[in-house]
Structure 1
Amino acid sequence: MEIEKITQAGDFMALLFDMKTITTALGIGYLLSLLVIAAYWRDKQKMNHVKTLFLTSKFMQTAGWFLAVFRGDISDLLSISVANTFMLLGLALEVIALLRIQYAPNPPLVKLYLLITALCIASFQYVYLFDNEEHVRIAVSSIAMAVLLLPVCRVTLDKGASTLMRLSGSFYMLMLVISAYRGVSARHATSWTSLYHPSTYQLISILTIYMALLLSSTCFVLLLKEKASRELVRLASYDDLTDTFNRRTFTVYAEAALDQAAKQRTPVSYLLFDIDQFKQINDTHGHHAGDLVLQNLVEQIKPYLGKDDLFVRYGGDEFGIMLPGHNEAESDELVSAIMQTVRQSAPLVAIPLTYTISVGVITVVPSPRTRLEHLYTSCDKALYRAKRNGRNGMSRSYLHVEQKAEFLV
């Protein structure tokens, strides 16, 4: 029995490693991860800012681990001070890269986060210079890691994030909790918090760090592929100049809205409009000025639209809007408000010009036979009637008796 216990103890101790073995293995793991990801992105896609941030973060973490490998053989300045600085800064860059996949850059917040990163690094350096005890260093570095991981809470709690993004955020949240617990425990000089002391926790720590390395790299690649897929769908669905639906996508959603309204017997209003004398704007000020006018018009209209309203750019300066649930009075009020806003808008900053629009409108309670092209044809006639009446106005199309069978049951 005693011999069996000794054998089992010997087998267990064989799994425990010295610190140099651990750091070498982790350094090699980070290096291989860095090389594989860099090679993949080099072959597949062009480098962008987010990828550069992530690769830089992995490079710094790799450098930090390799400096830690030589602790005892090189100065503590390099193996402790510089190594931990690289690891903390690398983690901060990794978090920034993760957040930039989901959110547009916010310079003030990025500056604040970098300031917090600098304070975390400064705190560790203070301990290294004035209270250079291992358990104190572990406590400060672990708490610093937890602080730097805090922004991932935003991803985890964001209902608009994809399942993969929330799953990745949850993984980083788990690392936050582990780091915070290790930091608090290390304050009491608990031996298990150190990788220098062979124990069960040392083995668990190795496996945890390797899992973190594997999952963080895998999740990041998958998140970038997910983002690329979303961008491809967006490019196929939206007008790239005005960020409104293109004709094909609008047609799909608009016909679905008409079918829904036909089932519920609710009204639908449809607007067709363009910019007065738009060709003259292009000829006088250039096509860049025309693009600015189109973008400015869309920016002024979007605040008036609800989540179910559909906005399309048909081409050139011609736009359409479908307003499910809007009756004649409501659509008239909306068109009047939009036109008033456009008339009273200040001249563009880049170009000293103002502009107006002409609008054709129709309101129907659709039947199952109602088609979008019917509404478009009627609205187009109303739009040209508004043009003939002097522009900068609205004309409404009403169904003739013989047309009602096409729209109404």
Structure 2
Amino acid sequence: MPILDTYTIYFLIFMGNLVMCLMLLIFAKTTGFEVLMRYYTYAKLLQTSGAGVLLFRGIVPVDFSVIVGNGLVFLGIALEVCCIVHIDRVPLKSVVKRWLQVAAGLAVGFALLYLAGANIGIRAFISAMSIAVYSLVAAAGLFFRSNSTNLRRVVALFFLILAACQVVRALYAFSLGPNHAPFSLSLSQMFAFISIYLHMLISTMSFLLMSREVIDIRLQEAATKDFLTGIYNRAQFMQMSEKLLSLMIRQQRPVTVFMIDCDNFKAINDTYGHAVGDSVLVNFSQDTQAILRKEDLFGRYGGEEFIIFSPNTTDSDALIMGKKIQSAILLSAAGDLTIPKYTISIGTATMIPEALADMEKLIKRADQALLQAKRNGRNQIVQF
């Protein structure tokens, strides 16, 4: 059967990395050079340089080609996997530095083995196993994240397959030992180089697709979440609560709406500044979110006023939940020296589907209860 020239395949790997570098540079220049995109472009530049040095062995001195070429590839793949694992957040410089330090250590170890006379089979084994390990790290980093998406899980599966291909390549090279020839015309070598070519394509395509997914997620969050606290904004809260209310009406289950206001918030802003006021709102949102159930909806109604839609909650359940929120706020404010001590007032209204099935009326009643809590001296719960 006809066999593809492995040298040609490796040349395509070099050219593929080079073209992708140019495309990344053009893309970044036209859309903005974000930090993660810059790191990924550096990764492809390192891999392209390393592949070029290895490709032109003979023109380039052999020792230089083996040591420097493989070293650049190790560094490039490490930085690439770092970017893929941190696809939805920019890694700290210290984190990137540790990734590169590990890769540099691997490159130095490889160089020492070469200088010590390790045969080409052992060197190919180490190179392939290193790529396999990095592929496994990428797969684990994408699959076992709490916010993993379907796209990331599919990409993780691809990296798992690529890792298996590299393990097969490594074992084959190790079995041949000094008889291993990188550019030999054999079926096994053809598949080995094709797997490297696929790794180059899949990793770059996956990075770009996942980057686009991150942008889409952020745009959706910007449209539905409050920019400061990260909870639902008023429009999204109302839309979701209306749907959930309809379900509760059909199931004839009780629903409670909480209207919550941070007491004397204007005084906090005037005394400590708006930055501290924002910290208070964030603190309140985080502490309250930790108490609420998964089915509860929590939103910022406006300014320092918040709203909770709590399905399957009676008036007695609401009182217990309100006291829990107040207790959590007191404990948190006492233990956090960055924010002043503050209290909250809570008004609640519970819907019995047979008697009331109107969201606007329910919110109005909870708001009236909140106003009464303020008139009564604040820092208390009033139920309509």
Using structure 2 for the length normalisation, give the TM-score: 0.92
The 1:341–1:378 alpha-carbon spacing in structure 2 relative to 1, beyond 3 Å, is: same
Q: Find out whether 1:242 has 2:242 as its counterpart.
A: no
What's the CA shift string for 1:265-318, capped at 9, x where partnerless?
Answer: 111111001111111111111111110111111122111111111110011100
Q: Tell me, in whole angstroms, the C-alpha distance in 1 between the residues paired with 2:105 and 2:348.
A: 60
SS in 2 for 1:391: coil
**Larger Rg over CA atoms:** 1
2:132 aligned partner, one-letter code: A
Q: Find out whether 1:393 has 2:353 as its counterpart.
A: no
Q: Tell me, in whole angstroms, the C-alpha distance in 2 between the residues paired with 1:28 and 1:374.
A: 66
Q: Tell me, in whole angstroms, the C-alpha distance in 2 between the residues paired with 1:106 and 1:48.
A: 14
The 1:245–1:193 alpha-carbon spacing in structure 2 relative to 1, beyond 3 Å, is: farther
TM-superposed deviation, 1:109: 7.3
Q: Tell me, in whole angstroms, the C-alpha distance in 1 between the residues paired with 2:146 and 2:371.
A: 45
SS in 1 for 2:256: strand
The 1:367–1:58 alpha-carbon spacing in structure 2 relative to 1, beyond 3 Å, is: farther
| C-alpha contact 1:258 1:366 (8 A) present in aligned 2 | no
1:230 aligned partner, one-letter code: I
What's 1:336 paired with? 323
Q: Tell me, in whole angstroms, the C-alpha distance in 2 between the residues paired with 1:266 and 1:193.
A: 72
What's 1:163 paired with? 150
Structure 2: runs of 5+ lacking an equivalent: none
What's the CA shift string for 1:54-99, capped at 9, x where partnerless?
Answer: 1111111000011112212222342111111111111111111111
What's 1:101 paired with? 87
Q: Find out whether 1:137 has 2:126 as its counterpart.
A: no
TM-superposed deviation, 1:210: 2.7
Q: Find out whether 1:228 has 2:215 as its counterpart.
A: yes
The 1:60–1:71 alpha-carbon spacing in structure 2 relative to 1, beyond 3 Å, is: same
Task: Give 1:309-328 correspondences, 5 Å limit.
Answer: 309-328=296-315
The 1:227–1:174 alpha-carbon spacing in structure 2 relative to 1, beyond 3 Å, is: same
What's 2:275 paired with? 288
Q: Find out whether 1:117 has 2:117 as its counterpart.
A: no
SS in 2 for 1:242: coil
Structure 1: runs of 5+ lacking an equivalent: 1-7, 398-409
TM-superposed deviation, 1:159: 7.7
Q: Tell me, in whole angstroms, the C-alpha distance in 2 between the residues paired with 1:326 and 1:243.
A: 24
What's 1:38 paired with? 25
Give the alignment partner of residue 259 of structure 1, picking from 246, 269, 286. Answer: 246
The 1:104–1:77 alpha-carbon spacing in structure 2 relative to 1, beyond 3 Å, is: same
TM-superposed deviation, 1:192: 9.1
What's 1:174 paired with? 161
What's the CA shift string for 1:35-67, capped at 9, x where partnerless?
Answer: 112212322x22222211211111110000111
Q: Find out whether 1:62 has 2:51 as its counterpart.
A: no
What's 2:69 paired with? 83
Q: Tell me, in whole angstroms, the C-alpha distance in 2 between the residues paired with 1:260 and 1:385.
A: 30
| C-alpha contact 1:123 1:140 (8 A) present in aligned 2 | no
Q: Tell me, in whole angstroms, the C-alpha distance in 2 between the residues paired with 1:104 and 1:283.
A: 35
The Cα RMSD (Å) is: 2.4
What's the CA shift string for 1:306-362, capped at 9, x where partnerless?
Answer: 1111110011100001111111221111101111222343164334x2110111011
Q: Find out whether 1:346 has 2:334 as its counterpart.
A: yes
| C-alpha contact 1:255 1:371 (8 A) present in aligned 2 | no
2:259 aligned partner, one-letter code: L
Give the alignment partner of residue 219 of structure 1, picking from 194, 206, 222. Answer: 206
1:237 aligned partner, one-letter code: T
2:218 aligned partner, one-letter code: E
What's 1:268 paired with? 255
SS in 2 for 1:362: strand
TM-superposed deviation, 1:188: 1.6
SS in 2 for 1:74: coil
Q: Tell me, in whole angstroms, the C-alpha distance in 2 between the residues paired with 1:160 and 1:192.
A: 47
What's 1:71 paired with? 57
Q: Tell me, in whole angstroms, the C-alpha distance in 2 between the residues paired with 1:287 and 1:365.
A: 40
Q: Tell me, in whole angstroms, the C-alpha distance in 1 between the residues paired with 2:34 and 2:355.
A: 48
What's the CA shift string for 1:226-266, capped at 9, x where partnerless?
Answer: 11111100000000100110011101111111111111111
What's 1:400 paired with? none
TM-superposed deviation, 1:134: 0.8
The 1:326–1:192 alpha-carbon spacing in structure 2 relative to 1, beyond 3 Å, is: farther
Q: Tell me, in whole angstroms, the C-alpha distance in 2 between the residues paired with 1:107 and 1:305.
A: 36
Q: Find out whether 1:48 has 2:37 as its counterpart.
A: no
Q: Tell me, in whole angstroms, the C-alpha distance in 2 between the residues paired with 1:229 and 1:192.
A: 51
The 1:67–1:331 alpha-carbon spacing in structure 2 relative to 1, beyond 3 Å, is: same
Q: Tell me, in whole angstroms, the C-alpha distance in 2 between the residues paired with 1:197 and 1:368.
A: 82
SS in 1 for 2:86: helix
SS in 1 for 2:357: coil
The 1:104–1:55 alpha-carbon spacing in structure 2 relative to 1, beyond 3 Å, is: closer
TM-superposed deviation, 1:136: 1.1
Q: Tell me, in whole angstroms, the C-alpha distance in 2 between the residues paired with 1:85 and 1:370.
A: 68
SS in 2 for 1:58: helix
